[in-house]
Structure 1
Amino acid sequence: MKPVKMVIAALALATLSFSVMAATLVDVAPANQQKIGVISACSSSNSLSSLQRELENKAKAAGASAYRIIGASGNNRMCGTAEIYH
Structure 2
Amino acid sequence: MKTIKAMSIAAVAALSLMSAASFAQTVTATSLTLDGAEAKIAAQAQQDGAQYKIIEASNGNVVHMTAELYK
Greater per-residue strand proportion: 2
Root-mean-square deviation (Å): 1.7
**Corresponding residue for residue 36 of structure 2:** 50
The equivalent residue for 1:71 is 56
The number of aligned residues is: 50
In the TM superposition, structure 1's runs of 4+ consecutive aligned residues that sit over 2 Å from their partners are: none
Runs of 5+ unmatched residues, structure 2? 1-21
CA offset digits 1:20-74 (Å, max 9, x no partner): xxxxxxxxxxxxxx8431111111x1x211111111011112221x100000113
**What's the TM-score, normalizing by structure 2?**
0.60
1:40 matches 2:28 = yes
Q: Read off the aligned partner of 1:37 and give its amino acid letter.
A: Q
Structure whose alpha-carbon radius of gyration is higher: 2
TM-score if structure 1 supplies the norm length? Answer: 0.51
Query: 1:83 corresponds to which residue?
Result: 68
